[in-house]
Structure 1
């Protein structure tokens, strides 16, 4: 009963990409919440090369940015066939990839490890998937 009730709220567009976008959106909402209410521990784990640079303000700013991307990705999950929404959703993964790659390769605030691996895998795989599936969803 609970599963069938939850299934009613899943995106109706065929394929797995909309469900993936919704999943990533929900996970991002929890990540955003921990940036506000979970202290600095988890955010410092991402920026583990320079954890002292992670402040309450930077963590909350990061949480706000994460929440905004989760809202866009949720819309992307339900409106995958609408080109402007698809493009905005795609752009959130570009911004995430550029942010985390530059923090690693340019600014040195993070290092290649478990704190960076998740965001890089999610952004890279989502960009590849959305590029490959663009024609399918935007027929």
Structure 2
């Protein structure tokens, strides 16, 4: 497995911890991620299922880096997640800067790394000459 695959497994595993908080420890999610909101149990479960989906994408993509549609969807999941949390911080002021920093490290690294290796995992095409 290539380094990017290992990275995606790590990020997926960390996202899996967030799934736990969304479903079973909403108080920790309120404190650790969203600093100024009244998060209900429904919000926590929605966050949990959304995070479970992105976690699943990371795991599948880690083992299938050559699958361009899956790679693209996984890449976009990082872009969307980062955009969401950036919006929460800049516009709605529901996140602390320290929480955004953590998200930025993982999402930013993933976005940059996946962009740098955008075509690196595609099978090489051979040209037949006659």
Report the Cα distance in structure 2 between the residues aligned to 1:106 and 1:138, rounded to whole angstroms. 39
Paired positions, count: 123
The answer for unaligned runs of 5 or more in structure 1 is 1-11
Q: Which runs of 4+ in 1 moved over 6 A?
A: none
- The two structures have a TM-score, normalised by structure 2, of 0.88
Superposed, 1:118-133 pairs within 5 Å as: 118-133=102-117
2:26 alignment partner, one of 19, 22, 39 = 39
Partners of 1:32 and 1:67 within 8 A in 2? yes
After superposition, what is the alpha-carbon deviation per residue over 1:63-104, rounded to whole angstroms, capped at 9, x for unaligned? 110001001111110111110011011011011111000000
RMSD of equivalent CA atoms: 1.3
The answer as to 2:60 corresponding to 1:72 is: no
Report the Cα distance in structure 2 between the residues aligned to 1:43 and 1:95, rounded to whole angstroms. 20
Partners of 2:21 and 2:28 within 8 A in 1? no
Report the Cα distance in structure 1 between the residues aligned to 2:17 and 2:28, rounded to whole angstroms. 14
Equivalent position of 2:126 in the other structure = none
For 2:26, what is the secondary structure of its paired residue?
coil
Report the Cα distance in structure 1 between the residues aligned to 2:30 and 2:78, rounded to whole angstroms. 19
- The two structures have a TM-score, normalised by structure 1, of 0.82
Equivalent position of 1:27 in the other structure = 14
